[in-house]
Structure 1
Amino acid sequence: MQVSTTFRHMEQSEALKSYAEEKLERVAKYIDEPISAQVYFTVEKIRHIVEIVISGRGITTKASEATNDMYAAVDAVLDKIERQLKRYKEKLKDHKPAGENNGRTMSKKVFQAEGLETNAEPVVITTKTETAKPMAVEEAVMQMDLLHKDFLVFTDATSNEINVLYRRKDGNFGLIEPQRG
């Protein structure tokens, strides 16, 4: 597991870094290799905040916890992540599609806002290529919850079409499917 640590508003601590790396090993069994983890240690007045983002093949999850002790915050945030990953793994077993394919590659472009407001041509700021992984709608909902995202583009495992799942303002989910025929 590749672990990177960031210390904000505090001195770097090897003891804290090694403690977090040691504790991260217990969640490695829930994610397929390769695994990368980013750990952010932050001190704000008397609050000690730990945020962890874990990425593995096919899954990314994040959680944060604030306490008055940094070691307790590490334990609490890893308990949260472990619960999330256990729940995800169990639901994944129940909704596993029969045929696995690798998904479709998509490109996402971000345009400069000034170009959209005037008559000038919009300028592409960034382009990001991602893979729309094949999954069931239930799995896409779980993935959105784990990533704390407002929308997710994925390939429907049954129809093999690109779909968009989004979180509505009322807390429910909306699904955009391509029209056939």
Structure 2
Amino acid sequence: MNIRIMSRAKDMPITDGLKQHIEKRFSTFERYSNHIIDGELIFDEERGRFKGELILRVKGTTLTAKSVGKTPLDVIDELKDKMKKQLRRYEEKLKDKGHVTFRA
């Protein structure tokens, strides 16, 4: 899975440590679905608060999760939890419709 990381904030560079944290947290998504095509993570900083939006394109639809927090790490962790729930729901819907799903 390939997730593109973008920062809208002028003074908020994506550091190597932050990039590693993102890759570590989001690498687990492949356990929940093998239908993920690609993804995009958008960061923004506004008035000392960090905003994040994670967009995953999966077969047949697009899943989106948004989060606001005090630190980028808080935002990433919350985005992971929200997206994990959406991926589980997506796979359950496929299973209910009779599609073949994959679970590791």
Amino acid at match of 1:71: L
CA distance change for structure 1 residues 29 and 58 in 2, over 3 Å: closer, same or farther? farther
Q: RMSD of the TM alignment (CA)?
A: 1.7
Per-residue CA deviations over 1:33-90 (Å, capped at 9, x if unaligned) read 5631111111101211111111133342111100111101100011001011112212
Amino acid at match of 1:3: I
> Is residue 6 of structure 2 the alignment partner of residue 6 of structure 1?
yes
Question: What TM-score does the superposition give when structure 1 sets the normalisation length?
Answer: 0.49
Higher-strand-fraction structure: 1
Per-residue CA deviations over 1:119-150 (Å, capped at 9, x if unaligned) read xxxxxxxxxxxxxxxxxxxxxxxxxxxxxxxx
CA distance change for structure 1 residues 88 and 20 in 2, over 3 Å: closer, same or farther? same
CA distance change for structure 1 residues 33 and 85 in 2, over 3 Å: closer, same or farther? closer
- Aligned partners of 1:62, 1:51: CA distance in 2, in Å? 7
- Aligned partners of 1:59, 1:85: CA distance in 2, in Å? 11
- Give 5+ residue unaligned stretches, structure 2: 100-104
Question: What TM-score does the superposition give when structure 2 sets the normalisation length?
Answer: 0.81
Contact preservation (8 Å) 1:35, 1:54: yes
Amino acid at match of 1:36: D
Q: Which residue of 2 aligns with 1:37?
A: 39
User: Residue 17 of structure 1: CA displacement?
Assistant: 1.6
- Give 1 or 2 for the bigger CA radius of gyration: 1
Amino acid at match of 2:28: R
Using CA pairs under 8 Å that are at least 6 residues apart, name the structure with larger relative contact order, 1 or 2: 2
Contact preservation (8 Å) 1:51, 1:63: yes
How many residues are aligned here? Answer: 97
Amino acid at match of 2:71: D
Contact preservation (8 Å) 1:28, 1:35: no
- Give 5+ residue unaligned stretches, structure 1: 98-181
Q: Report percent identity of matched pairs.
A: 28
CA distance change for structure 1 residues 31 and 64 in 2, over 3 Å: closer, same or farther? same
Contact preservation (8 Å) 2:30, 2:36: no
Which of residues 52, 56, 63 in structure 2 aligns to 1:50? 52
